[in-house]
Structure 1
Amino acid sequence: MTLRRPVPAQPPADLYGKRRRDRTIRVVDAIAETRLRWSSLINRRDRAGRVDDRRLGLTVIERRVEAQDTDVVGLLLAAPDGRELPAWRPGAHLDLELPSGRLRQYSLCGDPADRHAYRIAVRRIPDGGGGSLEVHEALGIGARVMVRGPRNAFPFVLPGYGSDSARLHFVAGGIGITPILPMMRMADRLGVDWSMVYTGRSRDTIPFLDEVESFGGRVAVRTDDAYGLPTAADLLGEIGPDTSVYCCGPVPMTAAIAAAVREMPGVELHSERFSAPPVLDGKPFTIELARTGEVVEVPADRSALEQVLTLRPDAAYSCRQGFCRTCRVRVLAGEVEHRDTVLTPDERADGDMLICVSRCGGERLVLDL
């Protein structure tokens, strides 16, 4: 997602989830939400209103461990015949169709100038739904995989090329370095003034450390085991007005930075997170799977997708944030409380729903599953 000074509704003021309420901030949040919906639509849909679903069959031509703890693996993907691949820009990602049928999104972290290979990196997450484990265990050198994209929900805008800012500041947490790396390279290649803070649990756990530190004094590496948990001030440093901040990492980190940036006039914030947002103001409801009659209860603090996965672990999903459309299902009965950013009014009227974020406006939904 990309906005100018975007902030989620009622964001935490610090890393520990303390919230503030303010009338002016609510107005800013409403504007930010409008910008988010527009940005999502123009980045996810073509002029005819169709989602870009082009599929490419690629081969894993290189595989290497990218973090000292061995939990991050990098894959280089190329066409079997060596042909040029579709162009992409920093911030873009691929949708991987894994052998099991799971669909997962991974940021491109290579060089956009290389038109013959795509690079992604995946952290092993034992309880993350199986996608990362499958990449680690099933995608060796020579493996074939179908991909969709590239797509870009985190576009990078350089100062002087569409941004009013004069300089850039990057913040990456752990595997959040993947979309940031191409941005850093482009900024450095074009002589833009920039700085960066890279954070994680320890030096052993953060990937691409050698590549990041090759940029020298522009980069500060700050690990929890050496410095303690960082505050937003630690991650933002001495940035001033006319700065664009690009941030990617865990939800508490991005939320804390968003809360800090809202107090900084003249600072733009562009961010992406790799995990689902917390459910706010949720109410419990029931889902019935129409094709089998199975019923599952959705608690107030859980998503419909999470509960559907308990019955259908192979159900398609990807972003878990309401913009990629992978989890779209047809609602056969019940009132939907739409919380996504991409479905059109016509699609909603036709009964479409993104179960990763949207909920029931009543007590029960019947889904065509």
Structure 2
Amino acid sequence: MTLYEAELVVDRRQTAADGVLTLALRHPLGEPLPVWEPGAHIDVVLAPDLERQYSLCGDPADRTAWRIAVLREAAGRGGSAHVHGELGIGDKVRVRGPRNHFRLEPAPRYRFVAGGIGITPILPMLAAVEEAGAEWSLLYGGRTRNTMAFTAELERYGDRVTITPEDESGLLDLASVLDDVPEDTLVYCCGPAPLLDAVEARCPAGILRLERFRPKEAAAGSPDTEFEAVLARSGHTVAVPPGVSVLDAVRAAGVEVLFSCTEGTCGTCETDVVEGEPDHRDSVLTDEERAAGETMLICVSRCRGRRLVLDL
């Protein structure tokens, strides 16, 4: 799949909460941007060797600009510091996407749970389910009220939204929204890993949709063993030894592949599998997608046999 890629200009820069900036990105010539659906994110190339993924949190019908929100992370790896400290109105950044591994699926009822900056992919979902006439509620938590972005935008939804600052009300009352969930309900959750783990422990997997900003802690699995990756389109066969990712082996063979996080969270390197059984180690694919074995994230996942054939 060919993704849209272009240099966009920072058109607006606003404070959404303490430590959270929103940026509106537009095409410098005013060209319309590609359509996107709630849950989508884009890759933003902030500098050489500094690329990050940000959820689109504006209006999908507005093709004049894409809005992203960026949390300033004191212990981050440089992306948020660059956005907050160096990226100003009129500056250009290269973007790629949109890409969506957190799609809003049709359902009569939804329960949304967001923690901190995890509100960003969920915000456009609320507008979509509201327009569709579905029944829904949102439980939204953060450290303090001042650090929680978009609370003013959420006011229009009234009591369907429960705002829970930890310093005022304690931790989110997950039991109130996740116990006795009707079978026709989908649960969407995004936020820090402890929240996602808590929601996952309470919620049947079949109705839960998660998006992680950090890789899920890997369970003990099969040890790394050497296998070969056959690249069907380019004609290469490369050895993938223990401790070397498929991505690194493929790139060492001179085959260019799109990649970004190298942690199995962004989905940029997702590759079609022609033959073989992947050993999935990502934090993106659903259980159903893993069982199907039709794609894999080659930055972290490996092979359960001796040979994989990839559409590369």
The reply to whether TM is greater than 0.5 is yes
CA distance in 1, matches of 2:132, 2:294: 43
Once the two structures are superposed, the pairs formed by residues 225-240 of structure 1 within 5 Å of their partners are 225-236=167-178, 239-240=181-182
Poorly superposed stretches of 4+, deviation over 3 Å: 234-239, 282-285, 325-328, 340-348, 357-361
Once the two structures are superposed, the pairs formed by residues 14-33 of structure 1 within 5 Å of their partners are none
1:271 aligns with 2:198: no
- Tell me the SS of whatever aligns to 2:8: strand
Correspondence for 1:222: 164
CA distance in 2, matches of 1:243, 1:154: 16
- Tell me the SS of whatever aligns to 2:144: coil
Correspondence for 2:91: 143
Report if the CA contact (8 A) 2:164-2:171 is conserved.
no
Look up the equivalent residue of 1:130 and give its one-letter code.
G
Q: Indicate which of 7, 11, 14 corresponds to 1:61.
A: 11
Q: Indicate which of 154, 160, 168 corresponds to 2:102.
A: 154
- Cα separation, partners in 2 of 1:128 and 1:169, compared to 1, 3 Å: same
CA distance in 2, matches of 1:241, 1:359: 35
Correspondence for 2:263: 320
Look up the equivalent residue of 2:190 and give its one-letter code.
C
Deviation per CA, 1:236-286: give whole Å up to 9, x if none.
Answer: 3764332111111111211211221129xxx7111112122113327999x
Report if the CA contact (8 A) 2:3-2:98 is conserved.
no
Q: Indicate which of 17, 20, 31 corresponds to 1:83.
A: 31
CA apart distance, 1:208: 0.8
Correspondence for 1:252: 194
Structure 1 portions without partners, runs of 5+ = 1-45, 47-51, 160-165, 286-297, 299-304, 306-315, 329-335, 362-369
CA distance in 1, matches of 2:164, 2:129: 21
If each structure's strand is expressed as a fraction of its own residues, which one has the higher value? Answer: 2
1:124 aligns with 2:66: no
CA apart distance, 1:158: 2.5
- Tell me the SS of whatever aligns to 2:120: helix
- Cα separation, partners in 2 of 1:104 and 1:201, compared to 1, 3 Å: same
CA distance in 2, matches of 1:320, 1:359: 13
CA distance in 1, matches of 2:134, 2:56: 21
Deviation per CA, 1:164-219: give whole Å up to 9, x if none.
Answer: xx211111111000000000011112322211111111101111111112211111
- Cα separation, partners in 2 of 1:110 and 1:319, compared to 1, 3 Å: farther
- Tell me the SS of whatever aligns to 1:98: strand
CA distance in 1, matches of 2:139, 2:180: 12
1:101 aligns with 2:49: yes
Aligned residues: 261
Look up the equivalent residue of 2:149 and give its one-letter code.
P
Report if the CA contact (8 A) 2:214-2:265 is conserved.
no
Greater RCO between the two (CA within 8 Å, min separation 6)? 1
- Tell me the SS of whatever aligns to 1:248: strand
Report if the CA contact (8 A) 1:90-1:179 is conserved.
yes
1:184 aligns with 2:134: no
Deviation per CA, 1:208-238: give whole Å up to 9, x if none.
Answer: 1111122111111112112222353145376
Look up the equivalent residue of 2:9 and give its one-letter code.
T
Correspondence for 1:281: 220
CA apart distance, 1:89: 0.5
CA distance in 1, matches of 2:163, 2:295: 45
CA apart distance, 1:123: 0.2
Q: What is the root-mean-square deviation of aligned Cα atoms in Å?
A: 3.3
- Tell me the SS of whatever aligns to 1:229: coil
